[in-house]
Amino acid sequence: MSNRFPTKGRIIFHVDMNSFYASVEAAYNPDLKGKPLAIAGNPEHRKGIIVTSSYEARAKGVKTTMPLWQAKELCPELIVKTPNFDRYREASRNMFAILADITPYIQPVSIDEGYMDITECADLGTPLEIAERIQMKIKDELDLPCSIGIAPNKFLAKMASDMKKPMGITVLRKRELEEKLWPLPIEEMYGVGKKTAVKLQNLKINTIGDLAAYDVYQLKTLLGVNGERLKNRANGYDPTPVDPDAVSIFKSIGNSQTLPHDTTDEREIDRLLYSLSEKVSERMQRKSVVSENIQVMIRYHDRKTITRSQQLHDYVELKDEIFSISSELFYANWNGSPIRLLGVTAQQLTEKDEITKQLDLFTYENEAKNEKLYQVVDDLSEKYGKDVFKKTMANDNRQSISTSFQKDFLDDFKHK
């Protein structure tokens, strides 16, 4: 990947908010900026657990999941705040809205991070220029720092975003794996939890480079199909797409298209809106979902981009319905300037089965709760290791961190 926009291959961003909860608190109360700050489940009790901390606190040795009493010993001047999930959700929504101004191809993976596929955004500048614009907009409008990894796939983008924090932008090209990726300890590889790291280290696989060179059959014997997948990733191969349809903070299905030339021709615009509506409808029907909110993205010739949405009173799924709403939205908000790109997105999706499913209140509440909890467990296990809940529930000192993270994710899913 060069500084210019590549002519082939994918361009993937991983946007990772830096010390998210602590940063949101400092943005809300500027007096906290530059000070050692921690978010803890029960700060009034010394048994509380650190959820996250500012970089000033981390410099003193304060770490996530550390007991509060230990953090206070390392950093007596530590300022401790309780989590404010409404505040964090609002910041998260605003952050993802900024990303949505660039592309509809966004896959949130947690409240504070997500992937973007900007392959079709060459008209917005080079990948570095786009990343800098996103980073500065999040900083200027939300007063929040983020790091961005730029790579040809999701795994490398995720690894790149971790290489420079806070406020870093890192490009990781496949030709740079030997220099930048392979020397890293195996436990720093995304997707390798503590237990897997120990198993690999027992085979003398101590670095990502060791894994990249190891015999695939022995890895499959040890780890099953995950062994081959990890080896592929260590060699820079990850074909998984950025999937806007994945269950996430913003569950949506969208399509956008850059016009071959800037236009004000209403017939051309209508044809494109209809084509986009048709594609969205086809994808919705494949997923067996309906929508309660339609959004239109308009990018003008000068790259200025706006998004407008309409909340609906009824569910929609058919192309004519989506076209009618998106067309009305477009003409109500178009300023008459030449159009460069149009996008149509169906938001607030619901599975058809869920609409017709007849459940009493008790059954519904339990099914909904369990379904979301399972997703939370999967998300946290992927991010923090398979034994995250065993660790947090091991004793009373650690129970609060588990509760805090579960509530955070569950509330986000409840309020989609």
Q: Looking at the chain, how many residues does it have?
A: 416
Q: CA-to-CA distance for 369 and 381, rounded, in angstroms?
A: 18
Find the helix packing angle between 127-142 and 85-100, rounded to 10°: 150
Identify the active-site residue in 25, 56, 113, 321. Answer: 113
Q: Answer left, alpha or beta for residue 274, where phi above 0 means left and psi between -120 and 50 means alpha.
A: alpha
Q: For residue 252, what are its two tokens?
A: 């949506």
Compute the Cα dihedral for 26, 31, 36, 42 and give only its sign.
negative
Q: CA-to-CA distance for 37 and 343, rounded, in angstroms?
A: 41
Find the helix packing angle between 85-100 and 20-28, rounded to 10°: 100
AA letter at 182: W
| Phi and psi angles of residue 176, each rounded to the nearest 5 degrees, phi first | -100, 5
Q: CA-to-CA distance for 253 and 317, rounded, in angstroms?
A: 11
Catalytic annotation present for 113: yes
Question: Residue for token digits 């509809």?
Answer: 104
16 is in an annotated binding site: yes
Whether 313 and 332 have beta carbons less than 8 Å apart is answered as no
Q: For residue 212, what are its two tokens?
A: 């990249």
Half-sphere exposure of residue 415: CA atoms within 13 angstroms, side-chain side: 14
Q: What is the DSSP string of 84-148?
A: -HHHHHHHHHHHHHHHHTT-S-EEEEETTEEEEE-TT-GGG--HHHHHHHHHHHHHHHH---EEE
Catalytic residues: 113
Known binding-site residues equal 16, 112
Known binding-site residues for Mg(2+) equal 16, 112
